[in-house]
Structure 1
Amino acid sequence: MRLFVAVNPPAEAVDHLGAQVARLRVGAAAAAGAQVRLADPADLHLTLAFLGDVEAGRLVDVESALGLAADSFGADRNVPPRLRLGGGGVFGDGRRTVLWVDLRGDVGALHELGRLVRERLRVAGLPYDEKPFRPHLTVARPGDRMDPAAVEADRTDLDGYAGPEWPTTELLLMRSHPGSGRSRYDRLAAWPL
């Protein structure tokens, strides 16, 4: 099973972001039929840890580790962290160009949650990607189908974006089903924060 750990923004934040993306150059290009891949609003998530392929027999270990991380995180807080989407950035270049939106608000708490998740996975001897945690939400994959200057202009436009604030109330274990085109995601378990 291909697994990752995430928190999801609520529908209100996703809809607000979708309206913003539609006004960007990537949104106009996608609407005009260009092969610019916009992120599916139903799949938007903030990945805290990517585990990759995990044997089905280890699922109970993953769930136990995440439950302990959520409990540790919640024990230190009276209220869930409040976040909002805002700002933007670009990863990669050429055909690997990705446009993303940043996070604002209690981002330090999100980093702490990510640290706890990774620590518990490590203690349980579970695999995870050890790249530095950079909270973001991918909005488009323009690749090399758009002029880099247009992508940079969209990134600049996202710098002025501020979505609605929301409480981060649950930690999710997700399964990814990669395929040709878009991946499909299933929610396997959740823990309150």
Structure 2
Amino acid sequence: MNATDSSAGPMRVFAGLRIAPEISHTLAQDARVLEQSAVRLVAPADIHLTLVPPWNETSIQDVAVRLQTVAEGFCPLSLTFTRLGYGPRPERPRLLWAECAGTDEISTLRKALLETCGQSDERPFRPHVTLARIRGNGTAIARRHPIERILSLTQEVTSIELFKSPPAGERGYQILASLPLSAVRVGQGNRAKHDVTN
């Protein structure tokens, strides 16, 4: 685990999953149909799945240690992308995203991460990666560029990442720490420390 501590005040950070390069490049290519529209495309290197929404953190080393404790209790898991489309509300889209299967494993991991980070998120959990943020009239853009199809892309997730958000107006996420999912699988599911049936 490598974590950079901040001596210059709080950082805007979040916890999430890094997307495999071959998948992020495929998804970014799908989004390029919108590049002439009023949208902000997400660079392939910045495509990620957020598990804990951003918060201001002053001790990066401390939060990295807490995230590592969670990661050690989970096995690597499969992340499956199931649908490409507009969201979160198709009739008034603000994003182009790729939705992922909401498995027990990823839901349980998210819950544990929220607790250890002292954060909460009352919104229904819809695991997804954002490919473009719509700046203009989302309804008109979606009408001009109907993008709705089933996906069948799967990657193995072997770590969780602590990301640093870029300053306002800038782009590019920085990985401050990468924490391996290192529990040994016993039987079925993540049952080393976290039983997904609970």
Into which bin does the TM-score normalised by the smaller protein fall?
0.7 to 0.9
Alignment of 1:143-158 (within 5 A): 143-145=135-137, 148-151=139-142, 157-158=147-148
- The aligned amino acid for 1:184 is G
The alignment yields a C-alpha RMSD, in angstroms, of 2.7
Matched, 1:101 2:104: no
Q: Which amino acid aligns with 1:102?
A: E
Q: Which residue of 2 aligns with 1:138?
A: 130
- Counterpart residue type for residue 127 of structure 2: P
- Match of 2:193? none
Shift of 1:6: 0.9
- Structure 2: distance between partners of 1:43 and 1:136: 13
CA deviation digits over 1:97-143, x for unaligned, max 9? 22221003x73211111111112223xxxxx3523333111111223
Partner SS, residue 142 of structure 2: helix
Q: 1:172 aligns with which of 123, 147, 161?
A: 161
What is the SS of the residue equivalent to 2:147? helix
Is this contact kept in 2: 1:173–1:187, CA < 8 A? yes
Counterpart in 1 of 2:47? 44
Q: Note if contact 1:16-1:164 (Cα within 8 Å) is conserved in structure 2.
A: no
Correspondence for 1:125: none
**Is the partner of 1:17 in helix, strand or coil?**
helix
* TM-score normalised by length of structure 2: 0.73
Gaps of 5+ in 1: 75-79, 123-127
What residue in structure 2 maps to residue 53 of structure 1?
56
Find the aligned partners of 2:38 and 2:86 in 1 and give their Cα distance: 20
Give the match's secondary structure for 1:72.
Answer: coil
Name the amino acid aligned to 1:171: I
- How has the CA–CA distance of structure 1 residues 17 and 96 changed in structure 2, closer, same or farther, with 3 Å as cutoff? closer
Deviations 1:5-30 (A, max 9, x none): 010110111122123223xxxx2x41
Structure 2 CA distance for partners of 1:13 and 1:65, relative to 1, 3 Å: same
Measured in 1, the distance between the counterparts of 2:108 and 2:144 equals 32
Q: Using a 3 Å threshold, how does the CA distance of structure 1 residues 69 and 153 change in structure 2: closer, same or farther?
A: farther
Aligned residues: 169
Cross-structure match for 1:69 = 70
Distance 2:87 2:105 in 1: 24
TM (normalized to structure 1)?
0.75
Alpha-carbon distance in structure 1 between the residues aligned to 2:30 and 2:65? 38
| Paired letter, 2:136 | D
Give, in whole Å, the separation in 2 of the partners of 1:130 and 1:36: 26
Q: Is the 8 A contact 1:2 1:176 kept in 2?
A: yes
Q: How far off is 1:95 after superposition? A: 9.7
Amino acid at match of 1:71: E
Aligned counterpart, 1:18: 28
- Tell me the amino acid that sits aligned with residue 80 of structure 2: R
Task: Give the 3 Å change call, closer, same or farther, for CA 153–134 of structure 1 in structure 2.
Answer: farther
- Residue 164 of structure 1 aligns to a residue whose secondary structure is strand
Structure 1 pair 113–6 and aligned structure 2 pair: CA distance change class (3 A): same
- The share of aligned pairs that are identical, in percent, is 27
Question: Offset of 1:188 from its aligned partner?
Answer: 0.7
